[in-house]
A and B are shown apart, each in its own frame.
Chain A
């Protein structure tokens, strides 16, 4: 259950971003989650709803964008997406592919409503 730690980090990043923009309320946030991570969106959403209570992100809706696992094969130089469960080169069948991307756990964007007096 590292989703609670992630939710706390997410809240910290959001708070910093809001402060940098002179305050306001956050109505939604979009996260990018790579295929080679262990993040459970539902659990993260619940943890986030708890840590955002009485903050600028209370009630903030979370959206998840799943990113594929992208690899490169050192054998045949294939580059592209593969399924996490069958991590073999789709072209030459080699194992031990180099991971190009798919480990992202990133806050991509937030929707910010500026406070009236800001």
Chain B
């Protein structure tokens, strides 16, 4: 018996596939975000709002990740943009290979923005690079302000933290300053945007952020 040095990352295959996806996205000049949150934080509602605001001026498409059902893709499709459902069949996250395969059914040509809605989960999606330009973390105030400290990796990898359901702030003891401070401890570049996807409050700031990030990619 002898010891063999391997030194290989267990996510190396995923990272390769993500790199491949990224090249595709760059080639087609499409800006791609990966939205991650706990279940019920409001990802799909925020997306419906975003699609409605953008579809006149931009070509938008959505990839929906869920364990089961086509409900979310159907919700998005009602807003008149292409929506592709990926059922992970039990896996708690999307990986780069799933996105790669999905791209066979979703032409990138002519697209301005591709939104990937990850499986609702604050743990696993954070580990898997999909090849997106930006990871966006959606935190709803009903989840509590302790989440950055409990799920540090999620806040470390995200480019923006969208704080949703701010219309409910008066009914909770959620401390926005604390959540912001703790999240930024893991990532000083993190942009924090307060919205209520339900009432539309703060939505302009989110859309402005998206447009600015999209313009950076287009300019390259």
Question: Quick check: is A67 within 8 A (CB to CB) of the other chain?
Answer: no
Grouping DSSP codes into helix (H, G, I), strand (E, B) and loop, the A interface class, with mixed when no group exceeds half, is mixed
Number of interface residues of B (CB under 8 A): 35
Q: Are A96 and B153 in contact (CB under 8 A)?
A: no
CA–CA, A31 to B14, complex, Å? Answer: 18
Chain B residues within 8 Å of A51, by CB: none
Chain B residues within 8 Å of A12, by CB: 13
Question: Quick check: is B95 within 8 A (CB to CB) of the other chain?
Answer: yes
Grouping DSSP codes into helix (H, G, I), strand (E, B) and loop, the B interface class, with mixed when no group exceeds half, is mixed
Question: Quick check: is B186 within 8 A (CB to CB) of the other chain?
Answer: yes
Q: Are A99 and B128 in contact (CB under 8 A)?
A: no
Question: Quick check: is B193 within 8 A (CB to CB) of the other chain?
Answer: no
Chain B residues within 8 Å of A114, by CB: 1-2
Q: Mark B148-185, 1 if CB is under 8 A from A, else 0.
A: 01011100100000000000000000000000010011
Q: Are B6 and A108 in contact (CB under 8 A)?
A: yes
CA–CA, A113 to B2, complex, Å? Answer: 7
CA–CA, A112 to B4, complex, Å? Answer: 7
Q: Are A36 and B10 in contact (CB under 8 A)?
A: no
CA–CA, A103 to B126, complex, Å? Answer: 11
Question: Quick check: is A109 within 8 A (CB to CB) of the other chain?
Answer: yes
Residues of chain B at the chain A interface (Cβ within 8 Å):
1-14, 91-93, 95, 123-124, 126-128, 149, 151-153, 156, 181, 184-189
6 A-B pairs whose Cβ atoms sit less than 8 Å apart in the complex: A10-B10, A87-B152, A96-B184, A96-B188, A106-B7, A106-B9
Which 3 residue pairs of A and B lie closest in terms of their CB atoms, listed nearest first?
A96-B188, A2-B124, A95-B185
A-B contacts besides A2-B92, A37-B127, A106-B8, 19 pairs, CB < 8 Å: A5-B91, A9-B14, A13-B6, A17-B4, A36-B152, A38-B151, A85-B152, A88-B185, A96-B185, A99-B156, A107-B6, A107-B10, A108-B5, A108-B7, A109-B5, A110-B3, A111-B2, A113-B1, A114-B2
